[in-house]
Amino acid sequence: MIKVLIVDDSLTIRQMMRKVLEQESAIQIVAEAENGVEAVRKNREYQPDLITMDIVMPKMNGLEATEQIMSDRPVPIVMVSSITDSEEKQISFRAMSAGAVWVISKPKQNQLSDLNAWGSYLCHMIKSMSEVKVVQRRRSRLERLIDLPDTLTKSSPRCIAIAASTGGPAALKNILDPLPGDYPLPIFICQHITCGFVDGLVRWLSAELDVPVRMARDGEPIQTGITVAPDDGHLEITFRSRIRITSPTNDHEHIPSADRLFRSVAHVYGPDALGIILTGMGADGSEGIGDLFQTGAVTIGQNEISSVVYGMPRVAQMKGYISREMDPSEISAYLLQLPTMAGTERMDGPNGRRSKDNYSYNTDT
């Protein structure tokens, strides 16, 4: 039985969520709270397995409550945000940086069919996120780079491709935050997120980082800075040095697909790319990063201890496609030293030296 605390200042929303969740036998609502102050107190009192957290509330908002809960009694928190309010969406990502594990949209009232679909999604996410590992966080922490990791390669790649899912926004922020605004390598990101929230992710990263952040647009030329995949299509790279947004081809494919991003980067850049697979559920990206690995490209997986969910990087590591595992601070330090590297010798992966024979790629981009 998953014990849930519902936090929302709207009685109507709380009643709607209760009605939906009470239909799921595996979920028990142990308490409700109408503001962040109550949420912090009832988290201690009722010991829930998961909290659904509203953003805008009196006395203490959802971000402040999340920060206090994660420093007091850590528990998985799913932010419930208005999909039409851009400020709420940005606050949601700040809360995820503070320790919340996911964000979902608020339900549409008076629309039964939409409510049923939303309720099914909410129940699915609660069951998935209730077992996510969370750690206690100091509220006034300052994260800085640790000692530089060993050099993985003596030459700089020409682009960086990153995939992430659960826990990804916080990891991305920590990794990319130290990069200067004129960082010379293009960075492509595939982040699994609830549909409708990727624009909030882009705006949040833009506000937090010095490096320019943009949403991927079909046909645009590749540029330095950070390009984020949309949530309704796949981000791919073409031989003409352009962005391509493609439509899903089957119901089982993640949208956006990390495998598609990595595979396109492998075919265009070959060994002159860097692939990074971060925290997340499932196995998306493990095959695509294997394509990169087989070209001779360096591939990095987030290590288990720093991952919110050690799923995607674990599968890639088990398949032998990861050159080295790192935590976000080490990855950040490595990215900072890439532009200064020179030479051609590359580090072997766990399966020995990688062959480039019989693999087609084009570096004339």
Containing 69, the helix (H) or strand (E) segment is helix 62-72
One of 8, 284, 291, 327 is an active-site residue; which one?
284
CA distance to 198, 282, 334, per residue, from 156 (Å): 29, 30, 11
The CA distance from 123 to 295, in Å, is: 41
| 77: nearest Cα among 56, 57, 97 | 97
The CA distance from 157 to 341, in Å, is: 9
Q: What is the DSSP letter of 212?
A: -
Residue 184 half-sphere exposure, CB side, CA atoms within 13 Å? 9
| 285: nearest Cα among 315, 247, 307, 310 | 315
Q: How far is CA 16 from the centre of its chain?
A: 28
One of 49, 54, 192, 327 is an active-site residue; which one?
192
The CA distance from 30 to 44, in Å, is: 12
The CA distance from 361 to 29, in Å, is: 54
Active-site annotation holds for 254: no
Residue partners of 14: CB distance under 8 A and separation at least 6:
6, 8, 32, 34
Task: Quote the tokens at residue 25.
Answer: 């036998």
Containing 275, the helix (H) or strand (E) segment is strand 273-277
Residue pair 127/26 in contact (Cβ under 8 Å)? The answer is: yes
The CA distance from 134 to 25, in Å, is: 24
The CA distance from 305 to 318, in Å, is: 16
Cis ω for the linkage preceding 248 (within 30 of 0)? no
Residue listed under structure tokens 């010095």: 210
Task: Quote the tokens at residue 60.
Answer: 């203490």
Residue listed under structure tokens 């009832």: 42
Active-site annotation holds for 192: yes
One of 81, 97, 165, 264 is an active-site residue; which one?
165
Active-site annotation holds for 165: yes
Instruction: Report, as residue numbers or ranges, the catalytic residues.
Output: 165, 192, 284
